[in-house]
Amino acid sequence: MQASSVSSRFEAYAAESDSSVKMDARSRMAVSLFMSAVTVCISSVEGQAVLLVASFLYVLSIRRWKAVGIAYAFLAVMMCIAVLLTYGISLLTPIMPFSPRGIAVPFMRSAEMMNVVLPLALTCRIQELLTALKGLRLPFCIYIPAAVMIRFIPTFMHDIRQVAETLKIRGYSLTFGEMFRHPLMMLRLMFTPLLFRSLRTSEELGMAAELKGLESGSCFVPFRTQQWAKRDTALVLLAVAVAALALYVHFKFGTVPTRGMR
Amino acid sequence: MIRFENVTYTYPFAEKPAVRGINFEVRPGEVVLVTGRSGCGKSTLMRLANGLCPGWFKGRLEGRVLVDGKSTLELPLKDMSRLCGTLFQDPEQQFFALGVEDELAFVHEWRGLPAEETREKVRSFARSFGIGHILGQSIHELSEGQKQKVGLASIMSQEPKALILDEPTANLDPESTVELAHRLRMLKESGMAILVVDHRLYWLEGVADRVLVMKEGEVAAQGNFGLLKDDGLRASCGLRGWHVDDARPHLPESAAPAAESSQPERGFRMEGVTFAYKGQAPIFEHASAFLAPGVTALIGDNGAGKTTLARLMTGLNKAQSGRFFFDGAEIAASDLLRRVGVVLQNADHQLHMKTVAQELEVCLELAERLEKQAAKQKAREGREDAAAQQCPAVSRPRAEQVRELLELFGLEGLAERHPQSLSGGEKQRLVIACAFAKRPRVLILDEPTSGLDGENMRRIANALRLLAEHGACVLIITHDLELMKLSCSRALRLPLTAGKNTGPAPHNADKE
């Protein structure tokens, strides 16, 4: 019942969020992959700024204000911690001076990746992702692990929830204070059941695959075809145009930081 | 079809063989049941028949296992799977897709069948298994019975000659169990050779042609179903009953004492509880229920809200409105979790420590901490805790309490084992022992005996009765008719009536 409710809420969440513009999962996947390649190639703040603005508009288009807000808040916290630590290190080791521009590029990259992955995660049903993966006709050794990973997202979410509930039932206090006071104990409490459950699941799935007669080198023929619409082509073309513009800005106006990560 | 010839098998790194000197045959159009105490070698027998031993698990095989006349050592697993289909206890663990239709098509897609043929197979097997209406659903939305049908349809669509079922009724309600028995009869008539490994026996009366009773890796007895009527054999091999009456219609309703009663109220009561999941219609509206000390069965159709009710009673889900009482005294919903013990279904999620003994010690320590916190709070509020007087904190050494719990649940020899290395039945007993460590006034258990053999099922039933005799209210959500018959003295039936539940609610036994 719990797995069911988690999954249905997860799916309903995805479905409802995508009521405005229904895109094919493959176009969202293509944009994510393309953006991850381009963002690595561009190391100037100016080029990254183009990608950041474009990807930010993209994430806003899904109209999941709350989810986007939470994700950005989390990123901001991470950024603050990193800035403080980097600043601290620069004080202790003068050969590594603190440079705001240097630290900006990795965070812009993180934000851009978040901006392209969120629409994929929040607007596509898991089954659509699986179907999209099938449609790509990937090799068996890539498809099966990827599909199983995606297939078990709702189960894994349910497992995490149930482990946390079990701890509450036992009487453990799951506060931040407790986590800071007893980090190893908390890790043991959370991860031991998850680790063993994952091991058991992977073993059972391995056996199930064997018993279903699946094996490497099998020829895959999908029984369902997906609908690739004009708007999907438009989205991919737009991503290519943004990437071209970012590369142009990078080479024409870009100043690569000499310190920090590039 | 499936033939064992003097088979002895030893797992890698094991000193002793898991099964020894096994000889039997499952012919086409025959159902053979394999049963026995947990750890007797039933699962190994099943793995030998489908080729997982030694194909997947490796190990040493002596003798021969033949499927359709071919040795399992000579056939690769992918070819074995076309001859012999296997359905696991939890079919969901076997699914590779999230949708029913995609799951049915999955194997055929990977075997390179043309799309139209795959579609036709999906359509025809969905029709013959009566699952056409759920083709568009997610596997997570299915009941256990539906999952099993999907798993079975997926296997049958590969047209195997033999079928192996591993504890197929462990998660099924009695109605789905009857349906499964009917389907096995049909498959048997179509010439399929069927090997069933199960603890529950009653449902195979009139279906199984032969029974193999295993004991310590060997076949202890072999014969027709009538063999199971031997009480001595069942007791010595830890078997369940061969015939089980459905106790559900006969259990009296769990009702609160009448308002005019002069006796003080004893037990747990919820009143006027309303609850709905976000964006959905209410599951309970001004519902009331009462649990008297003793063991109560929670009965209701699939989706009636049994688990939700249990979660509301433990405070894991927060009711939109409603009040809760212990022995007539109101307690806050936020306080419920401290007073109510609950055992959830999946034991894997509930074990964290390095040894079985440590797991129990930690539970006892946490329980004592909770009791102290409660006592301090009461002292601050200047209130006297009636419950604390009835269940005073136990001052005996913790090691002694651990030993008692280990003995009660038959885990004495496993005290130093890692909890996650135990078998499914042993884990289940350990998590119930952990719940007992909390000394709860109310204990709720969700399917505590699914997959347990007769001996351990009776052990759990005894432990629950013992707890109830000490004044605890025990609520069991179960499909296990034997457990219900052995331990439950009354039933709480869903849907709950609105208002104060002081008398028998309308009976829905017909629907059960």
Supply the DSSP string of B399-411, one letter for each residue: HHHHHHHHHHTT-
Shared domain for B227 and B257, answered yes or no, is no
Domain membership flag for residue B33: yes
- Pairwise CA distance, residues A87 & A97, whole Å: 8
- Whether residues B75 and B205 share a domain: the answer is yes
Write out the two tokens for B311: 């979660």
List chain A residues with CB under 8 Å of B362. Answer: 170
Q: Which of residues 168-227 of A touch B (CB under 8 A)?
A: 168-172, 188-189, 192-193, 196-197, 200-201, 204-215, 218-224
Annotate chain A with three-state secondary structure.
CHHHHHHHHHHHHHHHHCCCCCCCHHHHHHHHHHHHHHHHHCCCHHHHHHHHHHHHHHHHCCCCHHHHHHHHHHHHHHHHHHHHHHHHHHHHCCCCCCCHHHHHHHHHHHHHHHHHHHHHHHHCCHHHHHHHHHHCCCCHHHHHHHHHHHHCHHHHHHHHHHHHHHHHHHCCCCCHHHHHHCHHHHHHHHHHHHHHHHHHHHHHHHHHHHHCCCCCCCCCCCCCCCCCCHHHHHHHHHHHHHHHHHHHHHHHHCCCCCCCCC
Report d(CA A97, CA A93) in Å as an integer: 8
**Least confident among A214-218, B96-100, B308-312, B458-462:** A214-218
pLDDT at B392: 47
| A127 with B97: Cβ contact below 8 A | yes
CA distances to A52, A118, A146, B147 from A113, rounded to whole Å, are: 9, 8, 19, 37
B316 touches chain A (CB under 8 A): yes
The answer to whether the CB of A135 falls within 8 A of the CB of A123 is no
Residues B188 and B276 in one domain: no
The domain spans of chain A are 22-125+226-256
Chain A nearest-CA distance from B35, in A, is 22
Does residue B243 fall inside a structural domain? no
The two structure tokens encoding residue A153: 């997202």
Q: What is the pLDDT of residue A3?
A: 41
DSSP characters for B179-198?
HHHHHHHHHHHTT-EEEEE-
Examine residue B504 and state whether it is found in any structural domain, yes or no.
no
Model pLDDT, residue B63: 95
Q: What is the pLDDT of residues B382-440, one digit of tens each?
A: 655 544 444 444 567 888 999 999 999 999 999 999 999 888 889 999 999 999 998 88
Note the pLDDT of residue B48: 94
Whole-angstrom distance, CA of residue B475 vs CA of residue B307: 11
- Cα B131 to Cα A243, B118, B305, B375, B452, distances in angstroms: 48, 16, 23, 55, 29
The answer on B433 and B326 residing in a single domain is yes
pLDDT of B42 higher than 70? yes
CA distance B420 to chain A (A): 7
* Same domain (yes/no): B341, B434: yes
Query: In angstroms, what separates the C-alpha of B62 from chain A's closest C-alpha?
Result: 22
A211, A216, A218, best to mutate vs chain B, most B CBs in 10 Å: A211
Q: Is the pLDDT of residue B503 over 50?
A: no
pLDDT in tens, chain A (262 residues): 444 443 444 444 444 444 445 788 888 888 998 999 999 988 888 999 999 999 999 999 988 888 889 889 989 988 888 888 888 888 888 777 777 777 888 899 999 999 998 888 877 766 677 777 777 777 777 777 777 777 777 778 888 888 988 888 888 877 777 777 888 888 888 888 999 988 888 888 888 888 877 765 567 787 777 678 888 899 999 999 999 999 999 998 877 665 555 5
What angle, rounded to 10 degrees, do the helices at A183-211 and A153-170 form?
140
Would an 8 Å CB–CB cutoff place B46 in contact with chain A?
A: no
Of B203, B236, B269, which residue is a domain's last?
A: B236
Read off φ and ψ for residue B129, nearest 5 degrees. Answer: -100, 5
Give the CA angle between residues B362, B449, B255 to the nearest 5°: 95
Q: Which of A4, A165, A207 sits opposite B56 (nearest CB)?
A: A207
Task: Note whether B72 and B118 are same-domain residues.
Answer: yes
pLDDT at B235 over 90: yes
The answer to whether B120 faces chain A, any CB pair under 8 Å, is no
Distance CA B415, CA B402 (A): 9
Long-range contacts of A125-128 (CB under 8 A, 24+ apart): A125/A11, A125/A14, A125/A15, A126/A10, A126/A11, A126/A14, A126/A150, A126/A151, A126/A153, A126/A154, A126/B98, A127/A11, A127/B97, A127/B98, A127/B99, A127/B102, A127/B138, A128/A25
Q: Are residues B408 and B292 in the same domain?
A: yes
- Residue B505 domain-assigned? no
User: Could you tell me the CATH number of the domain that includes residue B58?
Assistant: 3.40.50.300
- A48-87 residues touching B, CB cutoff 8 A: none
ipTM (interface pTM): 0.80
B259 vs A192 pLDDT, higher one: A192
B390, part of any domain: no
Among B184, B213, B236, give the residue marking a domain's end: B236
- Tell me the residues of chain B between 353 and 382 that have a Cβ less than 8 Å away from chain A: 353, 362-363, 366-367, 369-370
CB atoms within 10 A of CB B157: 21
- Number of domains, chain B: 2
Residues from chain B that touch A205, judged by Cβ atoms under 8 A, are 93-94, 96
- Residue that the structure tokens 């079809």 belong to: B1
Q: Identify which has the larger pLDDT, A130 or B344.
A: B344
Contact B97 A130 (CB under 8 A): yes
Residue B507 lies in a domain: no
B242 inside domain: no
DSSP H or E run through B100: helix B100-110
Look at the alpha carbons of B411, B417, B423, B424 in this order and tell me if their dihedral is positive or negative: positive
Distances A53 to A60, A73, A116, B282, B498 between C-alpha atoms, Å = 11, 17, 12, 44, 56
Distance from CA of B98 to the nearest CA of A (A): 6
Cis ω for the linkage preceding B168 (within 30 of 0)? no
> What tokens does B297 get?
């069965």
- Count CB atoms within 10 A of the CB of residue B25: 14
Each residue of B431-457: pLDDT tens digit?
Answer: 999 999 988 889 999 989 988 999 999
Reply yes or no on whether the pLDDT at B298 is more than 90: yes
B511 within domain boundaries: no
* Residues spanned by the domain of B460: 248-378+395-493
User: How confident is the model at residue A229, as a pLDDT?
Assistant: 85
Final residue of a domain: which of B192, B212, B236? B236
Question: CB A223 to CB B79 under 8 A?
Answer: no
Which residues numbered 155-184 in B keep a CB inside 8 Å of some CB on A?
158
Q: Which of A4, A154, A163 sits opposite B349 (nearest CB)?
A: A163
As beta bridge partners, residue B5 has: B64
What is the per-residue pLDDT for B499? 52
